[in-house]
Amino acid sequence: MTTDDLNCDEIVELVTAYLEDALDGHTRHRFEQHLAICTGCDRYLDQIRRTIAELGLLPREHLSDRARADLLTAFRGWHSG
């Protein structure tokens, strides 16, 4: 690994920006280089994509405002825990 490579922790922190196409070109390239050699992070990205796809199928009314707020709070603090 060179000093310009991303590590697995950095991949986890950047996955949302990657999926939202919000990374600059250089960081996106580094992200994709890491995915090419790290099957764990590649699986993680696939799991996040599948989770988003499945959650998108749920009717909005099934998630209370309180549950939504709790989930957002949990996921915001997840990477820093």
> Which residues are CB-contacts of 28 (< 8 A; sequence separation ≥ 6)?
18
CATH architecture observed for domain 8-78: Orthogonal Bundle (1.10)
Burial, 80: exposed, middle or buried (Cβ in 10 Å; 0-12, 13-18, 19+)? exposed
Q: How does pLDDT run along the chain (81 residues), one tens digit per residue?
A: 555 799 999 999 999 999 999 999 999 999 999 999 999 999 999 999 998 888 777 676 777 888 888 888 877 766 544
